[in-house]
Every structure is written in structure tokens, then in C-alpha cells.
Amino acid sequence: MVIKGAMVCDANGEQRGDIRIKEGKIIKVERSILPRANEEVLEVQGLVLMPSAIDLNVRVQDSIFTKENLLKLSAKASAGGIGLAVLMPDCKPLLNTETGIELLNALKSDFKANIVGVVGSRGEELQQGKYTLAPLSILHKKGAVGIYSQSSEDGNLLRRACEFASMLNIPMFFNCEDSSLSANGVMNDGRLSARLGLPSIPALSETKEVAMVSEIVCFMQVRAIFNTIATNRSIEILQEAKKRNSSIFIQTSIHHLLLTEDLCNNYNTAAKIKPPLKSESTRIKLIKAVKNLEIDLITALQSEKSLAQKDLAFEEAAFGVDMIEYFLPMCYSLFVKSEGMTLKEMSKILSLNPAKALGMDSHKGLIKEGYDADLLLFDTKQTQIIDNPNSPFCDWIFNGKVKQLFVNGKAV
């Protein structure tokens, strides 16, 4: 197949051109390609052709690990321009068994966007608060692409998990939170939480854990992804750590770059996400960190919750947000339309950097000969209005629309 007439854009630049795809790979990228006899041709003048996005932090609906929820997540991710989504293991049942990884493998042909899993480092419980290490080598052979740990995990278990990650050449995914500090908190610690009378989550619950884990990953020299960082101090700590370990990747969510804690006013549970939404001053600093390339990764932070779990009193409602099908338009509207970033810079954050974090940048994340044909066609001229009253973005207008996603060269 030949895709003709697009503005071809990746982390290396933008140019008008054509590409040829064969057997799931990009085999030619040129200014103009002459189609062969009987070769399928797709004319896409006026559209942008980019590598599909890679999201390293998604969850299934209500955190229930079933075939139906996986297929639903895959369809929504593909609509948002995501070709590869990495599922976190903190679901029910936990994704730290061979059965869980095998279910993902069995559904590969049914997925629109590919979904792969990372496995939790924690295995069977030995006694209260003490756990064995999960069978990480076996799970990696089955298809797990990384190891996930809570920062509060036993120190020796963390060290051993990092040793396995280094040996298997896969990344560690860290969720940094001191649960004793966040306790029963439901929103950001500040004047608004005090006025609403809601228990709050202090920034310290993240920053102290980031500092501790950064010491571990620097000592172990392991590739590490810090999930959904939402405080400025954490970014400062990790920027210092990067001087000692260049394989550290800082991730934040698109929601923390677009929304603030003010949305929690009137006890709006649509704004209840974790980490909690922050102040406007923090949001502006996070955007600046993205533009300065200090933040490496962006996630849709997909964690859909049913209305039965959201339509409750604020303290009782579940954390979660469901906007992954608008991921590319949200990113384009903020980074390119509002902040003046280039498509090249956006593609680096959404495609190449996550491919590097997974160790897949030799074949994913760029539009280049020999790379996987995981691509998207994007119309920058269209707009979309969010009309879902249960969305934190209700009545927002986003620029751009994903017109077509290709995974391994096949339109989905």
C-alpha cells in the first residue's frame, strides 16, 4: 500500500511526501512514490501522517480485568490515535500471573490498538506486609514489557525487581505515593480543599517518594518510568537524578496540563482523579516543563469508572477519568494550537519518547524505513465538542480529529 500526499511528520521533522507499507513495515519514505500495478493507493491530501501515539499508563473500566473491558479500552484508545497502550497491573484480578498475560496475547487479533501489560513486582503474601517476588522472568517471556512497583514496596523487593529489570532489559514503572500521608485524601491540599471541608492529599506524599525511588534507580542504573508526576518539586528532583541516570523518564497526564483543582468546586466528582488536579500556578509550571523537554511522556491516564462509582458524594466517589478517545485532539489543542509547539515536538513526546522508554525505538516511534507501520492520519482542521455531561471537559472544544489509525500496516 502507498499513502500519498500527506504531511509526513515525526520527531525528526515534517515534509510533504509518500510512504509505502508492506507486511506491516514501512519500506519506503520519499517525496513522491509511483504506485505499482494493482497496488492499493490511499490519497490523503490535507491530512497529517504521524506515528501513532504510545500511552504507557492505562487501566480498564472499574479496574476489572475482563475480555470485554480490554476490547472496549482498545477501541477507545484507537479512536484517540493510540496504537500501543500499556496496561497497569493494579486491576482485579491482578496482572501478575501467566493467565493475565496470556489473555492479552489471545486477544491480539481482536484488538484495534495493541494492549500490552506490565506486571507487578509483588508475588504471593508470605505474612502480613511481606511478599515474595513475582515470577518476573517467566512473565516477561510470556510478553510482559515492564515491571510495576509502588514506591511503598519493601526495599529489598524493590531492589530485586530492579535487578530483574536490568537483566531482562525492560523498564521499571513506579507509582510514587506515601499512602500514610495521602491517607483518605480526595483532592489537592490547599485553600479549596479546606473551604470544601474535604480531606486532602499533600504534595509531600509524592515528592518524598520520588526522592527515595530516584536514589534507588540511580544506584541500580535501571531504566525507570515515573508515572503521572504532578508536582514541580518532583520534576526538579528527577532532573537532578537524570544527571546520574539518563534512562529516567518523567510522565504527566494531559489532564494535569489542561485542568485545575477549581473543577472540584461544587463537589464535582468528574474532577476526582489521582494524582489530584493541582493549582493554576502548578499547571502553568508543568506546561513549561513540557515545553522545556523536562517532561518526557504524556498519558491519557485512562481509568474509566462506571456512573455507579462516580455519582456519589465526593469522598465516596472513585478516582478516574475517561477521555482516551480524544487524546490526540487534546494534545494538539494544548501543545500546538495554544502553546505554539511544533508537530515534530509533539510527536517526540507522544511517540518516540515512549518507544525509547519501552526499549522499542529501533522499530517504533518514527516514520522511517524498516519501522513498524503504526501510523495515524490526523485532520488538523476539524474540531470536536465534548457533550458528555459526566466528563470533566463537558462543553470543551478540541482541535483536530483522528481520521484513521494503522497498526502493523492495517487500518483499524
Question: What is the pLDDT at residue 311?
Answer: 94
Determine contact, residues 176/226, Cβ cutoff 8 Å: yes
Per-residue pLDDT, 333: 98
Q: How confident is the model at residue 123 (pLDDT cuts 50, 70, 90)?
A: confident
In-domain check, residue 151: yes
Q: What is the pLDDT of residue 177?
A: 96
3-state secondary structure of 28: strand
Nearest Cα to Cα of residue 136 among 166, 175, 115: 166
161 pLDDT higher than 80 = yes
Average pLDDT over residues 2-9: 96
Structural domain containing residue 130: 52-365
Question: Tell me, what's the pLDDT at 127?
Answer: 66
pLDDT score at 122: 87
Q: Can you give the pLDDT at residue 89?
A: 94
Any domain includes 409:
no
- Least confident interval from 130-139, 281-290, 319-328: 130-139
Cα–Cα dist 160/218, whole Å: 14
Q: What is the pTM for the complete model shown?
A: 0.96
> What integer pLDDT is reported at residue 63 of this predicted model?
95
Task: Look at residue 130 in the predicted model and tell me its pLDDT.
Answer: 76
pLDDT tens-digit map of 331-386: 999 999 999 999 999 999 999 999 999 999 999 999 999 999 999 999 999 999 99
Q: Is residue 128 pLDDT above 70, yes or no?
A: no
For residue 274, the model assigns a pLDDT of 96
**22 lies in some domain:** no
DSSP 186: -
Distance from C-alpha of 396 to C-alpha of 187, rounded to nearest angstrom: 22
Single-letter amino acid code for the residue at 218: C
Q: Is the pLDDT of residue 18 over 80?
A: yes
- CATH value at residue 121: 3.20.20.140
Render pLDDT for 75-109 as a digit per residue (tens, 0 to 9). Answer: 999 999 999 999 999 999 888 888 999 999 999 99
Mean pLDDT of the chain: 95
34 in a structural domain: no
pLDDT tens figures, 20-79 = 999 999 999 999 999 999 999 999 999 999 999 999 999 999 999 999 999 999 999 999
Sign of the alpha-carbon dihedral angle for 168, 71, 105, 318:
positive
Predicted confidence (pLDDT) per residue in 270-316, tens digit: 999 999 999 999 999 999 999 999 999 999 999 999 999 999 999 99
Residue 73 falls inside a structural domain: yes
pLDDT tens digits, one per residue of 199-211? 999 999 999 999 9
Total number of domains in the chain: 1
- The answer to whether residue 117 sits within a structural domain is yes
pLDDT over 90 for what percent of the chain?
Answer: 94
Q: What is the model's pLDDT at position 260?
A: 98
The verdict on residue 142 lying in a domain is yes
Amino acid 11: pLDDT? 97
Angle at 274 between CA 337 and CA 198, to 5 degrees: 115
What is the per-residue pLDDT for 278? 98
For 174-198, the pLDDT digits (tens) are: 999 999 999 899 999 999 999 999 9
Q: How far is CA 142 from CA 123, 134, 162, 261, 367, in A?
A: 17, 13, 19, 41, 28
Q: Is the pLDDT of residue 398 over 90?
A: yes
- 105 part of a folded domain: yes
Burial 70-101 (b: 16+ CB within 10 A, else e): bbebbebbbbbbbbbbbbbbebeeebbbeebb
**Residue 96, all three cell numbers:** 501478575
